[in-house]
Amino acid sequence: MTYRELFEQGRAALKTAGVEEADLDARLLLESVCHTDRNDLLVHGDRTVEETDRESYLDLIRRRRSHIPLQYLTGVQEFMGLAFSVNENVLIPRQDTEILVEEVLRELHDGMRILDMCTGSGCILISLLHYSNDCRGTGVDISPKALETARRNGEVLLKASDSATWIQSDLFENVSGKYEFIVSNPPYIKSDVIPTLMPEVKDHEPILALCGYEDGLHFYRRIATDCREYLVSGGMLYFEIGSDQAEAVSAILAEAGFREINVVKDYAGLDRVVYGTYIA
Ligand code: GLN
């Protein structure tokens, strides 16, 4: 069977299963199996695909048809220009979260300390360390399996992988020390919204990384209150938020004694980041 025929078969199979980006996903899965790129379909579509590759591809198509996210099948998601390894133990890094990283990078100076609460794949902390100089960071997560993934990402993506420390902890339980920056993209989806999400998300991404309980604000309250002990005076707290949470999260920060509270929009014009400064 030729490369193009196999692609057509994969594409049709994904389409009938209701996979949204059937064309793109069929191509990307084929490229990941055959170690090819987008040119191959255009230029080498008539080459023959090895039997073992054909089988691996059709197996991936079968799994994608059951709505396992593409990134869990290819094992990678790009974020801030870096290739993060991902698996079912971590949330797939979202482009929206790049806004959070870019906002922190504006204020981050050489040698500062950063804590990333609910680090997941480590994408936020690792990007911040990758694009700064001599900073040190701690990534915290309740899930040991998520931390394993984050640690591996740090080893691959950081020049000095010992600039990141990974701590298993239920929020601040096992945290010590002081930080100039605390950043977090915590679980923030309301419990009753979870069943309405696409199957890729609700059935396959870790529920622990999604659900912010009844009003979606549980983790903002706890982190804003508990983090103060770990911030230097003048230290800053940055949160990613859901687009309808700016007002509520700003109020939580104000209540916890933060000043100069700001909301930043994402490229779609939706509220995406809230940050503030803590004066002890
Ligand atoms: N911090 C990680 C990310 O942004 C995980 C977030 C989470 O688990 N809610 O991808």
**Alpha helix segments (H runs only) across 143-217:** 144-157, 199-202
pLDDT of residue 162: 93
Whose Cα sits closest to atom 8 in ligand 1?
A: 209
Q: How far apart are CA 35 and CA 31, in angstroms?
A: 5
Token pair for 221: 């309250």
Determine the residue type at 200: E
Distance 185 CA to ligand 1 centre (A): 5
Give 38 Cα–ligand 1 centroid separation in angstroms.
29
The minimum-distance atom of ligand 1 relative to the CA of 188 is 9
For the chain, give every domain's residue range. 3-66, 77-278
Whether the CB-CB separation of 185 and 179 falls below 8 Å is answered with no
- Ligand 1 test: best mutation among 79, 86, 118, most atoms within 8 Å of CB? 118
Q: How far is the CA of 78 from the centre of ligand 1 (A)?
A: 14
Q: Which atom of ligand 1 is nearest to the CA of 187?
A: 9
- In the prediction, which pLDDT does 227 show? 98
Ligand 1 neighbours (beta carbon < 6 A) = 91, 93, 97, 118-121, 123-124, 185-187, 209
Give the pLDDT score at 23. Answer: 97
Token code pair at residue 219: 């983790």
pLDDT at 280: 84
Closest-CA residue, ligand 1 atom 4, reads 185
- 47 Cα–ligand 1 center, Å: 41
- Measured between alpha carbons, how far is 143 from 72 in angstroms, rounded to an integer? 18
> Distance between alpha carbon 137 and the CA centroid of its chain, in Å?
17
pLDDT at 100: 98
The atom number, within ligand 1, closest to the CA of 186 reads 9
What CA–CA distance (Å, rounded) separates 198 from 146? 22
User: Thinking of the domain 77-278, which architecture would CATH place it in?
Assistant: 3-Layer(aba) Sandwich (3.40)
Q: For residue 170, what are the contacts with CB-CB under 8 A and spacing of at least 6? A: 142
How confident is the chain (280 residues) per 10-residue block, as mean pLDDT? 97 97 98 96 95 98 98 98 98 97 97 98 98 97 98 97 96 98 97 96 96 94 98 98 98 98 96 96
pLDDT at 141: 98
